[in-house]
């Protein structure tokens, strides 16, 4: 039966079709014959010869099959393999595929409108370590906590099934099948539905630049890889070679699948610099268009990791861009970490952590927009000065950066409490799009390490590779550091959040909750308009950001990462209040509720123990600024 006469949801895979039962379709251009082998469940056992179509496709109806049927595809009478577009692998990547009916789930989110970039607050989650159970069902039960903190969207680390019991998900090989390690497909739908009921969006991290080293059956079916192009993980996927149309279709349809069949509110595309495509129209632009079309009236956001900081990524397609919405901003992270820790090793070498860098990354997004980058011995980045601030996803922690330390250390443990609070305030009140990593909102004690469950031969390669990667940090080599075994079960279980410590972390939780509320409810910060923000360096470890409001309703963010700072005199025009107004203290990172020691208004610190003339006292007092050490203060322009 020709595809044109079948009303399929997606071009590949086995899926129930109205009035037809289950219909299967697969691309296998090197095969002469393909049989669908029904292994178990309705319609099994038995084999069904599929009909050859032009372009190397094979398709056909599977008599008697239904949701729950297990099947494989046999190529040319030889071995049978899982479906490359399997919707579920209940026994893992090398087991049989299962027919799934995506229309059977009783969604309740008809009124959900999706996500938009303005106002977005992202929370990166690894399902396997977010709860002790490590399941989607357990994670869904914690979503109300995220809503109370002020998160608006959960970003799930990759779910495509991989070989092994635990892992980060970036070794996925069944790109259409949510991993059985976290539950069944409807558990994922239930998670998304619950999030939408709470007013939370859900974004999925997808990997379209490589597949995992074990369980990948794509090469059995067709030439999915480009032998003349390479990535850090091996041969690149073939998006532009001769006859590569079905490969592009496979990945474009995968993006559509997550948006349409699971109601995801967006995607985060991993390492897009390793998606090599010299076609007239880049596959990322095609993915962007198809994903938005699949969402219909629901708004989605498309985020990306792009190490070279290529301006084309967020440029509109009609201007030669890929049409994505926002980048992860490593420059923001790197300069913040240097400011917090003082360490400038490996890829932190080209950052000072200086007040000017912190001002510039808040104002302009990337710090490197075409300058020479000595760590890579070449220029890095391209101009993005006109890109709006919300298009830069900012963070102090994420899965990669935590794991790139010896012990997966959290940032609160790598710096002083005061400096960490001050930096958190600078970050959450900056105009970008903030992203928290799981547990960061309460300064969780659990680390986040690299872990992967591999067979012994591959495990040894992973251990060696991890040690070699971390050796770029000189201090780890000098102390003869012992690297946690990435393939040990203990390494994985150590990373699970300990929710029992949450009641004891109220000060940390209040800090993040209050800052996100201020960001959300204050009209000036809510605008996220970097064009109306100006900065100035006050001292080697202190700076200010002034956000211009309407009719002089300005906000002043004073950040001091050093000791107490006395600014007398203070010849900085950005410190002057709007005409006819006076600065009032709006918020302080030294509030005792957050573990601070209290804050006096910076303009009202006494400078003499006694003055007979009250007017002289006021004049002298108003000229004195004392910024507390390791603190961030937020002032607003109030009435005189």
Say whether 441 is catalytic: no
Give yes or no for a contact between 44 and 238, defined as CB atoms under 8 angstroms apart: no
H helices of 208-303, in order, are: 218-221, 245-262, 283-295
290: left (phi over 0), alpha (psi -120 to 50) or beta: alpha
* Nearest residue to 178 (alpha-carbon basis) of 200, 204, 209, 153: 204
H, E, C per residue of 1-35 = CCHHHCCCCCCCEEEEECCCEEEEEEECCCCCCEE
Query: Pairing state of beta strands 266-269 and 301-304?
Result: parallel
Number of C-beta neighbours around residue 569 at 10 A: 8
**Residue 104 CB-density burial (10 A; 0-12 exposed, 13-18 middle, 19+ buried):** exposed
Q: Considering 249, 305, 310, 441, which one is annotated as catalytic?
A: 305
Q: How far is Cα 146 from Cα 149, in angstroms, rounded to an integer?
A: 5
Q: Considering 98, 186, 265, 270, which one is annotated as catalytic?
A: 270
Query: Would you mind telling me the total number of residues written for the chain in this entry?
Result: 640
DSSP string covering 453-495 = ---HHHHHHHHHHHHHHHTTSHHHHHTTPPPP-TTSHHHHHHT
Q: Provide the sign of the torsion angle of the four alpha carbons 313, 259, 401, 168, taken in this order.
A: negative
* Nearest residue to 328 (alpha-carbon basis) of 370, 269, 288: 269
Say whether 94 is catalytic: no
What is the CA angle 550-522-265, rounded to 5? 115
Largest Cα–Cα separation, the chain: 103
DSSP string covering 283-334 = HHHHHHHHHHHHHTTSB-EEEE--TT--GGGGS-GGGTS----EEE-HHHHH
* Nearest residue to 337 (alpha-carbon basis) of 345, 482, 628: 345
Give yes or no for a contact between 367 and 392, defined as CB atoms under 8 angstroms apart: no
Give yes or no for a contact between 353 and 339, defined as CB atoms under 8 angstroms apart: yes
Give yes or no for a contact between 329 and 366, defined as CB atoms under 8 angstroms apart: yes
**Residue 500 carries which DSSP code?**
G
Q: How far is Cα 105 from Cα 196, in angstroms, rounded to an integer?
A: 15
**Residue 330 vs residues 346, 392, 531: alpha-carbon distances, Å:** 14, 10, 21
- Active site amino acids: 270, 305
């Amino acid at each position: 039966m020709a595809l044109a006469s079948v009303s399929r949801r997606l071009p590949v895979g086995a899926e129930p079709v109205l009035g037809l039962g289950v219909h299967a379709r697969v691309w296998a251009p090197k095969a002469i014959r393909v049989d669908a082998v029904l292994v178990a469940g309705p319609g099994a056992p038995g084999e069904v010869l599929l009909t050859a179509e032009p372009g190397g496709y094979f398709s056909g109806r599977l008599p008697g099959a239904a949701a729950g049927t297990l099947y494989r595809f046999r190529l040319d009478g030889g071995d049978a393999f899982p479906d490359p577009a399997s919707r579920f692998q209940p026994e893992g990547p090398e087991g049989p595929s299962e027919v799934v009916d995506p229309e059977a789930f009783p969604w309740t989110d008809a009124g959900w409108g999706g996500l938009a970039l303005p106002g977005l607050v992202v929370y990166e989650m690894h399902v396997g370590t977010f709860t002790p159970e490590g399941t989607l069902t357990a994670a869904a039960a914690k979503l109300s906590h995220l809503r109370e903190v002020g998160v608006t969207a959960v970003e799930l680390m990759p779910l495509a099934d991989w070989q092994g019991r635990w892992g980060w998900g970036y070794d996925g090989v069944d790109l259409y099948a949510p991993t059985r390690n976290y539950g069944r497909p409807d558990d994922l739908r239930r998670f998304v539905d619950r999030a939408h009921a709470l007013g939370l969006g859900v974004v999925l991290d997808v990997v379209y630049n490589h597949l995992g080293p074990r369980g990948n059956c794509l090469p059995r079916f067709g030439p999915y890889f480009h032998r003349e192009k390479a990535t850090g993980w091996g041969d690149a996927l073939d998006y532009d070679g001769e006859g590569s149309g079905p490969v592009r279709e496979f990945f474009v349809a995968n993006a559509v699948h997550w948006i349409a069949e699971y109601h995801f509110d967006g995607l985060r595309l991993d390492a897009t610099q390793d998606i090599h495509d010299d076609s007239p129209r880049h596959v990322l632009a095609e993915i962007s268009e198809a994903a938005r079309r699949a969402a219909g009236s629901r708004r989605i956001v498309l985020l990306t990791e792009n190490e070279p900081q290529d301006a084309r990524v967020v440029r509109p397609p009609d201007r030669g861009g890929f049409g994505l919405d926002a980048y992860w901003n490593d420059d923001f992270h790197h300069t913040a970490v240097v400011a917090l820790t003082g360490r400038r090793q490996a890829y932190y070498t080209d950052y000072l952590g200086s007040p000017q860098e912190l001002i510039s990354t808040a104002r302009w997004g990337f710090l490197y927009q075409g300058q020479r980058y000595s760590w890579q011995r070449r220029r890095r980045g391209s101009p993005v000065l006109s890109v709006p601030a919300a298009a830069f996803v900012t963070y102090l922690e994420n899965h990669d950066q935590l794991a790139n330390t010896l012990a997966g250390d959290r940032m609160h443990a790598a710096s002083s409490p005061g400096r960490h609070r001050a930096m958190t305030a600078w970050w959450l009140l900056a105009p970008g799009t903030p992203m928290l990593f799981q547990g960061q909102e309460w300064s969780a004690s659990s680390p986040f390490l690299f872990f992967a469950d591999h067979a012994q031969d591959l495990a040894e390669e992973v251990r060696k590779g991890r040690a070699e990667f971390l050796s770029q940090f000189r201090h780890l080599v000098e102390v003869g550091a012992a690297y946690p075994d990435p393939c040990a079960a203990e390494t994985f279980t150590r990373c699970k959040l300990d929710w029992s410590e949450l009641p004891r972390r109220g000060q940390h939780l209040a800090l993040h909750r209050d800052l996100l509320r201020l960001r959300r409810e204050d009209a000036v910060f809510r605008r996220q308009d970097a064009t109306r923000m100006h900065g100035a360096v006050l001292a080697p470890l202190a700076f200010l950001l002034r956000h211009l409001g309407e009719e002089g309703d300005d906000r002043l963010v004073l950040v001091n990462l050093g000791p107490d700072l006395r600014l007398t005199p203070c010849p900085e025009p950005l410190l002057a209040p709007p005409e006819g107004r006076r600065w009032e203290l709006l918020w302080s990172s030294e509030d005792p509720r957050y573990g601070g020691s209290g804050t006096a208004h910076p303009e009202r610190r006494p400078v003499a123990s006694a003055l007979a003339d009250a007017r002289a006292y006021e004049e002298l007092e108003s000229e004195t600024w004392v910024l507390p050490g390791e603190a961030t203060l937020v002032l607003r322009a109030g009435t005189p």
